[in-house]
Amino acid sequence: MEKRTSSPFPRIDRPVLAAIGIVLVGATVFFAWSDRQHDYKYYQYRFRQMVAEKLGAERADTIPAGLQQVWVPGLRRADRCVTCHQAVSWKGFETAEEPYRTHPVELLRSHPPERFGCSACHGGQGWAVDTAAAHGEVAHWEEPLLGKPLGEAYSLVDNKAALMQMNCNICHRYERETRGADMINLAKRLVQEKGCRACHVINNRGGTIGPDLTWIGDKAPEQYDMTRLSGQATAFAWHVAHFKDPKQMVQDTVMPNFHLSTKEAQALAMLMLSWRKAPFDAAFLPGVPRTDPQTAEERQAEADMKSGPGAWFVQTGCFVCHSIAALKVRSPAQIGPDLSTAVEDTQKRFGVTVDQFLKNPTGTMSVVLSRQIVLTPEQKDVAIQKLREAFAEYQRLVAEGKNPLAAAAEGGQK
């Protein structure tokens, strides 16, 4: 064999190669070990112990080990929650702490997990298998677990676990009342009482002064202006703050302050976020209404307003803020004064006749008449004519000994 000079670095090369080899083995052991590290291993071990203590070792042996999931193709969900929450369908652990607690039976009967999964109601990230990621407390997951901790973080009034009702209402949105969803029910009553539809379209019905709210729950958090919001910058927090004082969130809004309580504002914010498109087919909604029909009385009342003597005020949009009691028009919001007496009222309030006021409005009306309700000079003449008719009717009723304004105010308080 011929001789050649060896590499100038052989002495160091061999130990370097050996060290690299050891590092590589170490790296392999490290990732293989990391792959085995999961919270569920401990929870499964604990639950098995609990079952063995309570029901005997034989029952404990029937508990499946390893990753578990509920696969719901129709909802495109693979919920791995049951990997840790193994007690869900085991009787006898109703008072145990999570994740070893039995799920309330009644709800499971109407919403079997094999059909609905877990995250469709509870929120959270069904794909994940570790606590933080599964409960959605990680970056880039916008559906956190709608449980008590989150409710406490938002200081929900009364029921801290109520946030989950938002997910009930994704399917049950057209019900007037849903069993068990007290906050959502409260919000739905408020929507009727306060007459939100005067300005907002909800389920294809309503006025167009405010934005359409039908799918407001799908509005992305990035699309909210959070600059005036103090504290948590979330869509939910924005809605709560906005319901309590609309002007504070949107300076030039015409939405009135309804002086809602904190609970009412929270309930309405939940209702807003629940109005989302359901990403599954109608087969999941047996027995749940799929449209939002009006009752016969509601239709009658609306028809009366639209075709009665005050129809012009309804069509023009004045009724959103003003009742015209003499003509049986009742405003849902009742922000402005009753227009039955506008003819003499403008004299008292502004010192001008109603003609002059409509042509040169001041205050709030100058904003409304230049932006929300823009009238041509001819239409203004019609308005003056109609207001005179309303005043004449008012005087006739007063002469008969009735007080139309008081009756309308009572109606509004109902």
Kindly state the smallest distance separating residue 140's Cβ from another protein, in Å. 4
Q: Rounded CA gap, 106 and 115, in Å?
A: 15
Are 319 and 331 contacting, i.e. CB atoms less than 8 angstroms apart? yes
Stretch that binds another protein, among 23-31, 250-258, 295-303, 320-328 (CB under 8 A): 23-31
Residue 212 contacts another protein per CB under 8 A: no
* Minimum gap (Å) between residue 4 Cβ and another protein: 5
Taking the CA atoms of the chain, what radius of gyration do you get in angstroms?
32
CB of 76 to another protein, least distance (A): 7
Segment interacting with another protein, rule: CB under 8 A, options 107-115, 221-229, 298-306, 343-351: 221-229
* Residue 59, both tokens: 């029952």
Q: Does 230 bind another protein (CB under 8 A)?
A: no
Stretch in the footprint of another protein (CB under 8 A) among 16-24, 192-200, 255-263, 318-326:
16-24
Q: How far apart are CA 148 and CA 181, in angstroms?
A: 15
Contact 245, 262 (CB under 8 A): no
Taking the least distance from each CB to another protein, the nearer of 79 and 393 is 79
CB within 8 A of 28, min separation 6: which ones?
none
Does 301 engage in binding with another protein (CB under 8 A)?
A: no
| 278 near another protein, rule: CB under 8 A | no
Which of these ranges, 99-107, 142-150, 169-177, 198-206, lies near another protein under the rule CB under 8 A?
A: 142-150
- 284 makes contact with another protein (CB under 8 A): no
Q: Which is nearer to another protein, 221 or 411 (CB)?
A: 221
Contact predicate 355/338, CB 8 Å: no
Site string for another protein, 315-354 (x = CB under 8 A): ----------------------------------------
Interface pick for another protein out of 78, 260, 352, 398 (rule CB under 8 A):
78
Q: Is 11 in the site for another protein (CB under 8 A)?
A: no
Phi-psi label, residue 111: left if phi above 0, alpha if psi -120 to 50, beta otherwise: beta
Give yes or no for residue 252 binding another protein (CB under 8 A).
Answer: no
- Phi and psi based region of residue 344 (left: phi greater than 0; alpha: psi -120 to 50; beta: remaining): alpha
Q: Could you say which DSSP state residue 218 is in?
A: G
Q: Which residues contact 239 (CB under 8 A, 6 or more apart)?
A: 265, 268, 269, 272, 273
158 DSSP 8-state letter: S
The only residue of 163, 314, 369, 383 in contact with another protein, by rule CB under 8 A: 163
Stretch that binds another protein, among 137-145, 195-203, 257-265, 314-322 (CB under 8 A): 137-145
Measured in residues, the chain has a length of: 414
The distance between the two most distant Cα atoms of the chain, rounded to a whole number of Å, is: 133
Say whether 62 sits in a helix, a strand or coil: coil
Q: Which of 45, 61, 64, 67 is in the footprint of another protein by CB under 8 A?
A: 67
Mention every residue, 6+ apart, whose C-beta is less than 8 A from residue 226: 233, 238
What are the residue ranges of helices labelled H in 275-309? 296-307
Positions in 95-134 near another protein (CB under 8 A)? 127-130, 133
2 binds another protein (CB under 8 A): yes
Helix (H, G, I), strand (E, B) or coil at 5: coil
Q: Closer to another protein at the Cβ: 139 or 296?
A: 139
In the complex with another protein, the residue whose CB is nearer, 64 or 308, is: 64
Q: What are the structure tokens assigned to 400, written together?
A: 């008969």
Q: Binders of another protein: how many residues, by CB under 8 A?
A: 56
Which residues have C-beta within 8 Å of that of residue 184, sequence separation ≥ 6? 165, 166, 168, 169, 172, 178, 267, 270, 271, 274
Residue ranges that bind another protein, judged by CB under 8 A: 1-10, 13-14, 16-17, 20-21, 23-24, 27-28, 30-32, 34-35, 67, 69, 76, 78, 80, 127-130, 133, 139-144, 146, 150, 163, 220-224, 226, 232-236, 273
